[in-house]
Amino acid sequence: MSISDFRKLSSVALALLALLVFCPLAWSQNRIGKNLEEVTKLAIKEGKVRIASALERDEEPLVFKGFNQRYPTIKIEPTRITGADTREKIFTEALGGVVDYDLADISAEVQDKFIKAGVLMGPIPWRNLFPKINDRQVSPNGYIVAVGWSTHVIVYNPSLVPRDRVPKKWEDCLDAYWKGKFVVDTRPKALAGLAMGWGEEKILDYAARLKANQPVWKRGQTESLTQVAAGEYPMICGSYYQSIHKILRRDPKAKLAVVYPPEVPASVGEALGVMKGAENPNAAVLLAGWLASPEGQKGYDKIGRGSPYVEGTEKWEVLHKTGAKVVSRDWEDNSSEEAITKKILAVWGFAAGGGRKAVQ
């Protein structure tokens, strides 16, 4: 073989290698339509979208109803996932080429891991495809879109708490009136969120004073809220609004009332990413973008998880009416939340996981 022939053969081999390496990536990216009209046409052709999310069974029809009405030929196939193990399973299987979902809820602590490993499709031009999406709904890197939000409020039993004793602000939880009879969650999500607005020094001082007021320490929301509604405790200082909303949705007569303090901690509660290798990528993009849009947020309003940043949502309306300020961390600020959480738990005398230690 001549040198010329060898060079030609080498060139062909390199070209084939480049195709093997780059074509799958290009193919996966090119499967997404160039604009919303094209995405919609391709999504309708795909005909379905498989989504893994934390939505409960009775929440799914409320959230997906509007999409189903607008795109009746696209079937949504939901699977409920909870906890870190389910995300790890999705991640591990995706690395091995097994993709069971087109769209998945990627929790904050594993988003970087998914993106760096290349198992998510992106970046996706969410704002170009869906111009009405609020900037806060889209991650800066373009891989993730926020659809469900968590906000922390104060909740009380109106049959047990006199009007002049209804807490109006976070500092009211420090009042001696509540000493030994109000509930605080041992997972300080509300305080960690509040730290984004208050700063570390103030929040740690507050945590210490809160402990000194001898709260009833509880782990989790559902049981505590049920006990407040039943009259076992008068108030919870820091509760997920969506948990309260769920109880009231199922039992409108439940004795629970909500207070929005001047600062309302908020965070992304459900963040969707399109899996690389998805069978129905356009349907996945269409559903995620629609859910993040003002129209789609109406569905999340029905389960108490609408965005406080999207004009017209229930939370946006309430916050503007009360004058409350939203405090939240940035998309890529997971480390600071973890750090302040550990410090709050140390002040309380709890283990890093929120488990109980001896509290002096």
pLDDT digits (tens, 9 = 90+) for 234-273: 999 999 999 999 999 999 999 999 999 999 999 999 999 9
CA distances in angstroms from 224 to 54, 82, 163, 257, listed in the order given: 21, 20, 22, 14
Domains, the chain: 31-148+268-301 (3.40.190.10), 150-267+313-348 (3.40.190.10)
Overall average pLDDT of the 25-43 stretch: 78
Using the predicted structure, report yes or no on whether residue 117 has a pLDDT greater than 90: yes
Question: Cα dihedral sign for 219, 223, 228, 233?
Answer: negative
Overall average pLDDT of the 143-156 stretch: 96
Structure tokens at 247: 């109880």
Provide the whole-model pTM. Answer: 0.85
Structure tokens at 147: 């659809």
Please name the residues in contact with 2: beta carbons below 8 A apart, sequence gap of 6 or more. Answer: none
Using the predicted structure, report yes or no on whether residue 151 has a pLDDT greater than 60: yes
